[in-house]
Structure 1
């Protein structure tokens, strides 16, 4: 095989983009939405610190958003299994735009109110929790079953573009034009994304769906726990994020350990750069069938890379290892998403998306607290290195416990076969 052919097999697969109009809408809307959201992500804590001068006041925003994420994430998942997902995206988009407008108006006051910022943070968390399961649950409906790996890789690029460009743009805006301009950009992004959602086709729920209820939410949780392969996708990710989440230590690591405070921003960007590189070379992913093994090995790679970054003699070596960690995490995200989207029945997809959202929201939040506590007790390097070692050990332990995950094969798994047959029949009928 020629070098050109080998490179072509690695390059990102654009088949879903070419073949599905609604996938293109979701991808463009997601890019616009996430880019604007990351600009606001920088502006909000900056404004809070300006008004209060308190680091605790900034950190308290995380406490304000935890309860809405837990409660409304699960409810939003049940809602996604009952209502037309397009209508849910539009309604929650309008709510998010209203919250952004209040944030913008408050920032224009001569004396912005802190309580308004916290209230808007909680309301935005509610709207996001209600919206995200519907957006995630739409992906299997708009692309073909065999195109799922490529669709997930392309969707991930939208987040990575936002993670790279959004904070940079937000930092420039708050430092020059002021936070109001940043909130204005965020509002514009939400309005544009919501307008794009209007152009989606209708994606109604199953005729047998029931209104959201505690019983329905419980059925989703029970389904997730009964399927050991599915449970493993949540547990492996939680272990990786809780034990080896180093981001909260970056300021101290760059300033006190590596003596390069001016290059702190590169530490924050390193993981996104690695993740983007993994996405752009993800063409090989469609040929992987033992996706559970890929998740396990990628998460071990994440932990090992984070641990090695903690031992780095200078910031450039640390950046390189954090970039590798970001690439490994992207591979884990890719194959976990493929397993979810190729095996979960559509009538359960929203509720399971709500559980997924809790997993990748609460794991990093808990991991940051763990890293900060261990660093205060033992030192920054020890916190990073020990987190990486514990992550590797924890993932191996989880794999031994849930060994069905290691044996998972998309070609023979009963859930994957059922969903593949249903999608094939639906495409033939349509």
Structure 2
């Protein structure tokens, strides 16, 4: 008789089941499953491209300021088109808008591959493509994110957001490492070309979705503001003005990303501090995503947390302290560990901030609020790239990282003094 291995204790199995990410949305919704897979694949390609652009700009200029300027070039179009992209998503078929944005991103990645094959050495070309990528992303992201509450029931939103965070961080983890490896072996062409091909998964997922026009406002809701025939960016901002919890969720992320984002420092730190090559740049860029991925994989507990405001506050402060510690570290392993801790904290913050927004906003406002969310989530790090690169140019990369982490914690404390009610936010009674 073949011996059988003993089964794990029931308590251990229950602990593992509750600790690991809840995959119910993937099982129950085929549309969400395809969208999640397509976004995972395309995200890997996008992060390969982001790393390749950063390394290519630094190789051409040897300037942290020029590298940080990449973020600023995408910030302005991201802010403008992010807000209008959200408004457009509240007036037209969100599926069609998502397809348009994803197609544009694929074409731009093919353009980057072409310039790399031709040996173009003009930084301005890279800046221009980055700006156009921001436009397409600003149209695609609000449409895609505002569809999620229509694909899964309300009680599955925390799990769906945790899974979306896994998708994003798969890209942030695998993308930089694979991109750094391909650039080391071949050149920028490989990273850009793989990105262009990877977008086919996202395009297929969007194509299979049903029509996703916004639902009309509920006329019986006395708190719903008067809507214009066409969605207005100003209506979304007015809605946000009188909703302190939603506003605070955006400001908390800005504090973390503007002051505590060290991404633009990675090429310089890899050379100056760690005396290494582009492979180390890829490790530094991937480390926060590794932590974020682990945080999302073990996110089974998030559905049992109701004080979402407290969770966001603590997560942002852990992020800032971890970044400050990274700036003080002198060993690569310790720096990677602290960056991973920061990434795990960012995952917790993102899950609860996204859930607050989706639960507290009506469907016909979700596009505009997702537009604001896109501006904050994607624009904040780009402004952070410019801030950290500029401070590093004026001082040192080490000082830039440490001061940024400390400033993040200080900004979060000031925001908490200004909006004390955010700490009392309860998901069982969501109030925007």
**Structure 1-normalised TM-score?**
0.87
More displaced 10-residue stretch of structure 1: 250-259 or 239-248: 250-259
CA-based RMSD? 2.6
Contact in 2 for aligned 1:34/1:158 (Cα 8 Å):
yes
Q: Does residue 96 in structure 1 map to residue 112 in structure 2?
A: no
Corresponding residue of 2:28: 19
Q: Does residue 324 in structure 1 map to residue 341 in structure 2?
A: yes
Contact in 1 for aligned 2:38/2:205 (Cα 8 Å):
yes
Provide the C-alpha distance between the structure 2 equivalents of 1:248 and 1:14, rounded to a whole number of angstroms.
Answer: 34
Report how far residue 250 of structure 1 moved: 3.5
Selected match of 1:312 from 329, 344, 358: 329
Contact in 2 for aligned 1:254/1:315 (Cα 8 Å):
no
Q: Does residue 337 in structure 1 map to residue 346 in structure 2?
A: no
More displaced 10-residue stretch of structure 1: 223-232 or 183-192: 183-192
Corresponding residue of 2:409: 392
Selected match of 1:161 from 167, 170, 189: 170
Contact in 1 for aligned 2:47/2:171 (Cα 8 Å):
yes
Selected match of 1:134 from 139, 143, 152: 143
Report how far residue 401 of structure 1 moved: 1.0
Unaligned runs of 5+ in 2: 1-9, 218-226
Question: Structure 1 residues 142, 379: CA separation in 2 closer, same or farther (over 3 Å shift)?
Answer: same
Provide the C-alpha distance between the structure 2 equivalents of 1:310 and 1:251, rounded to a whole number of angstroms.
Answer: 14
Provide the C-alpha distance between the structure 2 equivalents of 1:268 and 1:175, rounded to a whole number of angstroms.
Answer: 15
Corresponding residue of 2:84: 75
Q: Does residue 217 in structure 1 map to residue 233 in structure 2?
A: yes
Structure 2 counterparts to residues 414-425 of structure 1, below 5 A: 414=431
Provide the C-alpha distance between the structure 2 equivalents of 1:116 and 1:370, rounded to a whole number of angstroms.
Answer: 22
Contact in 2 for aligned 1:238/1:359 (Cα 8 Å):
yes
Report how far residue 153 of structure 1 moved: 0.9
Provide the C-alpha distance between the structure 2 equivalents of 1:116 and 1:390, rounded to a whole number of angstroms.
Answer: 34
Q: Deviations over 1:158-193 (max 9, x none)?
A: 111111211222233333344333332112112332
More displaced 10-residue stretch of structure 1: 365-374 or 108-117: 108-117
More displaced 10-residue stretch of structure 1: 245-254 or 184-193: 245-254
Corresponding residue of 2:242: 226
Contact in 1 for aligned 2:176/2:283 (Cα 8 Å):
no
Question: Structure 1 residues 188, 256: CA separation in 2 closer, same or farther (over 3 Å shift)?
Answer: closer
Provide the C-alpha distance between the structure 2 equivalents of 1:319 and 1:120, rounded to a whole number of angstroms.
Answer: 30
Question: Structure 1 residues 128, 10: CA separation in 2 closer, same or farther (over 3 Å shift)?
Answer: same
Question: Structure 1 residues 119, 236: CA separation in 2 closer, same or farther (over 3 Å shift)?
Answer: closer
The structure whose residues are more often helix, as a share, is 1
Selected match of 2:195 from 178, 186, 202: 186
Question: Structure 1 residues 113, 366: CA separation in 2 closer, same or farther (over 3 Å shift)?
Answer: closer
More displaced 10-residue stretch of structure 1: 308-317 or 400-409: 308-317
Provide the C-alpha distance between the structure 2 equivalents of 1:253 and 1:95, rounded to a whole number of angstroms.
Answer: 33
Question: Structure 1 residues 109, 311: CA separation in 2 closer, same or farther (over 3 Å shift)?
Answer: closer
Q: Does residue 205 in structure 1 map to residue 214 in structure 2?
A: yes
Q: Secondary structure at the match of 1:283?
A: coil
Structure 2 counterparts to residues 11-410 of structure 1, below 5 A: 11-47=20-56, 52-53=60-61, 55=63, 59-109=68-118, 116-207=125-216, 216-257=232-273, 263-312=280-329, 314-377=331-394, 379-410=396-427
Question: Structure 1 residues 48, 246: CA separation in 2 closer, same or farther (over 3 Å shift)?
Answer: closer
Contact in 2 for aligned 1:260/1:315 (Cα 8 Å):
no
Unaligned runs of 5+ in 1: 416-430
Q: Deviations over 1:36-71 (max 9, x none)?
A: 222222333455566x55646655443432221121
What is the count of residue pairs matched by the alignment?
412
Contact in 2 for aligned 1:82/1:206 (Cα 8 Å):
no
More displaced 10-residue stretch of structure 1: 193-202 or 14-23: 193-202
Q: Deviations over 1:248-273 (max 9, x none)?
A: 33345455456677755433222111
Contact in 1 for aligned 2:290/2:343 (Cα 8 Å):
yes
Question: Structure 1 residues 61, 303: CA separation in 2 closer, same or farther (over 3 Å shift)?
Answer: closer
